[in-house]
């Protein structure tokens, strides 16, 4: 069995959405072997930094929080679709080229996976693509950008997906992952009453 890592490595230098200062990760040494018999670090981080899932509350006022997802939404059949040649946005037309089975976690592999720094022109999933995936009854959708849309007015992509309680997995690293079929494991850290959670996302070879 081979397990592929598809997660971003969190550090103080990791790229964050729009390079916003308040989104950067801080790692603070609380204890070390000079002042203690153990070594311990404190993490300070926006929940949308690194690889993470969004829950409805992220984009919908009074929306549902991460604990309302069920664990089986984050484990099982997954299909990686190759959009490396897309230059701007993924549309319903782009998605129609593939056979998409219901109850599958769909990952969108784009040129974003090559970006080591935040790219303001990252590839995104547009409104028509989000609606197409909802109509296919997918289980979840992931992308290798820190957003699944590029701050489109009103956040329609987020609202279409999250309105149907479909988890959005952002900040993936898919370079080196071949398009095709896998099992995914991407269980969110259990945090009470929040709109997002960090995830270690992996693909397991079938």
Residues lying near its own copies in the complex (CB under 8 A) are found at 1, 3, 5, 7-11, 22, 27, 30, 33, 37-48, 50-51, 57-59, 61, 63, 67, 71-72, 75-76, 154-155, 185, 187-196, 198-200, 202, 204
Cβ at position 159, least distance to its own copies in Å = 11
Of 5 and 82, nearer to its own copies (C-beta) is 5
Of 118 and 187, nearer to its own copies (C-beta) is 187
Cβ at position 85, least distance to its own copies in Å = 28
Cβ at position 106, least distance to its own copies in Å = 20
Sheet with 52-54, edge to edge strand ranges: 3-5, 202-205, 180-185, 75-82, 105-109, 140-143, 168-170, 52-54, 196-198
What dihedral do alpha carbons 149, 142, 60, 67 form, nearest 10°?
-160
CA–CA dist 16, 159 (Å, integer): 22
Cβ at position 119, least distance to its own copies in Å = 20
Of 100 and 189, nearer to its own copies (C-beta) is 189
Q: How far is CA 68 from CA 103, 171, 180, 192, in A?
A: 18, 21, 29, 10
DSSP state at residue 205:
E
């Amino acid at each position: 069995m081979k397990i592929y890592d598809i997660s971003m490595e969190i550090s103080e230098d990791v790229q964050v959405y729009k390079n916003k200062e308040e989104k950067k990760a801080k790692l603070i040494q609380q204890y070390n072997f000079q002042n203690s018999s153990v070594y311990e670090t404190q993490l300070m981080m926006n929940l949308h930094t690194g690889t993470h899932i969004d829950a409805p509350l992220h984009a919908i006022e009074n929306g549902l929080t991460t604990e309302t997802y069920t664990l089986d939404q984050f484990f099982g059949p997954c299909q990686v679709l190759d959009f490396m040649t897309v230059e701007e946005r993924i549309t319903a037309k782009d998605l129609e080229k593939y056979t998409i089975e219901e109850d599958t976690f769909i990952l969108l592999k784009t040129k974003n996976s090559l970006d080591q720094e935040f790219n303001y022109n990252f590839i995104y999933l547009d409104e028509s693509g989000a609606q197409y995936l909802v109509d296919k009854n997918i289980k979840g959708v992931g992308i290798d950008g820190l957003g699944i849309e590029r701050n489109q007015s009103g956040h329609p992509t987020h609202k279409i997906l999250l309105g149907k309680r479909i988890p959005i997995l952002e900040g993936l690293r898919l370079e080196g992952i071949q398009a095709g079929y896998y099992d995914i494991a991407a269980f969110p850290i259990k945090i009470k009453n929040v709109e997002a959670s960090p995830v270690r996302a992996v693909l397991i070879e079938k």
